[in-house]
Amino acid sequence: MKAGLKIIEKCIKLQIISGFALLLSPFLHASTGNLVWGDDFNQAVGSTPSSANWTYDLGNNGWGNNELENYTSDAANCSVVSDPDATDGKALAITAIKTSSGGYTSARIKTEGLFSTTYGLIEARMKLPVGQGIWPAFWMLGNNINTVGWPQCGELDIMENIGSIPNKIYGTAHGPGYSGSNGIQGVYTLASGQFSSAYHTFAIQWAPNKIQWLCDGTVYQTLTPDNIPSGTTWVYNDSPFFLILNLAVGGGWPGNPDSTTQFPQTLYVDYVHVYNLTPAAPAQLGADANGLGTVDLSWTPCTYDGGSAITGYRIERASDSAFSQNLTSTDVGTATGYTDTAVTPGATYYYRVLTVTANAVSAPSPTASATPVTPGGASGSTVYFSVVSSRCFVGTGSNIGVAGIWVAGNKPITVLLRAAGPALGNLGPNSISNFLPDPMLLLYDTSGRLLATNAGWGTGASPAAVSSATTKVGAGMVFAQGSQDSAIVITLPPGGYSAQCVGASGDTGVALIEAYQVP
């Protein structure tokens, strides 16, 4: 909003922003956590916005964009109204009025000096005005604007619309080297109708080194430091940002009103909410009755970009799978393993683990259960396999080798996976002449998610680790450092897996896929 953006036709039609495509996708990332700030504009009808939340920008200086309006603090330009379409029956109405002298009045309110935030989900539910020269916006500026200036402070336009195109909204980032008409902009287009016909929710999800723009829960632009122009600076981790709502008239981007523009025009704001972000739960949890009368728990840590560092994990234990009986909760710090010693042999316990940050707690992980045994008795740990192998003729495309692996029981185990190709040609009198010279090893789970590969064609991943694991399992064909076979060492929780081997550059040949449990 600081400086008008030119409409780039290629951008609008193809939805290509600064060389990367906008992927319209559901909002499947970190969910909303606690509401940390908000205004539902539910005070008395006719009242102006709460002075505890909002202050005004005033004047008619053009605001850097050759705008025509004079911003006021008058209730006629900004006040609470009844609206049956708002969630609580009330909304803030920011109204642009054409005066008898041919000028325009409107309002621009902000939280500067009252509230600012770094990271989170920042959203507003709004119904937009319409018409040539009408320019509503919901946006943010860095608190440090008065010390470093614009655009060094950063600007995040959560929603802008030009009233002559009522079915499109724009989300834009401005920073040093990519501001004004060079701002990095995404476009969202309604499949039918226009934004003046009903309320819609406009938001950004802002995390360290990643910002996503959303309309009605759909992500339509994602920005990371990799997407800003080369040699420019990512300024969105530097300072908290404050919020701005305004309705401009005219300016370099939307152009000025004409004879078709009807006044007054009103931007209706149902609410503005700011949430911190809930971290993801650990995806996998293993519980093992270890033969010592206790239960060993281990889990895969979550990856979290929601703005608050992970402070630890919380283990919940119960005597039933619904976690309604004998529920206990233990915070265990940032370790990804824990031994539960407060258990009774022969009783079955159910466990789940949650991620904890300073601001929020995740949903629980999938449940794991274990029945501890009397010390010295049978252990809950078992050897799930000693070796699995599959000999196959491998090439490129659909010609792949596959070995199925199943980890039984309830405890993660470490596995050595190997795709032997060149080693088959180095077996002395037992050598195979048509071995695959360049095996590539890939490991998938049952949902088709790629878990690991070796480092690249014709090389092994972590040769020292692979050599150590090979020695431990006593594999028949020793994986020496520098071998052209492929190998992976990985810890797998219980479940099914598919180890696949492919060849590169049109090469084909025989390969042997091996899987060993590493003690």
Instruction: Write down the number of H helices and E strands in the chain.
Output: 3, 35
Which residues does 453 contact at the CB level (< 8 Å), separation at least 6?
440, 441, 442, 443, 461, 488
Task: Map residue 79 onto helix, strand or coil.
Answer: strand
Contact between 280 and 168 under an 8 Å Cβ cutoff? The reply is: no
> What's the number of CA atoms in the CB half-sphere (13 Å) around residue 370?
32
Helix, strand, coil shares of the chain, percent, nearest 5, are 5, 45, 50
Residue type, 154: G
- Strand-strand pairing, 450-453 and 368-370: unpaired
Q: Which helix (H) or strand (E) holds 91?
A: strand 90-98
- Catalytically active residues are 155, 160
Residues 437, 458: Cα–Cα separation, whole Å = 8
DSSP states along 221-256: EEE-GGGSPTT----TTSS-EEEEEEEEE--TTT--
Read off the DSSP letter of residue 321: T
Residue 405's CB: how many other CB atoms inside 10 A? 19
Residue with tokens 């979290």: 304
The order of strands in the sheet holding 387-394 is: 387-394, 509-518, 413-420, 486-492
Which residues does 426 contact at the CB level (< 8 Å), separation at least 6?
none
Residues 301, 443: Cα–Cα separation, whole Å = 20
Residues 158, 111: Cα–Cα separation, whole Å = 15
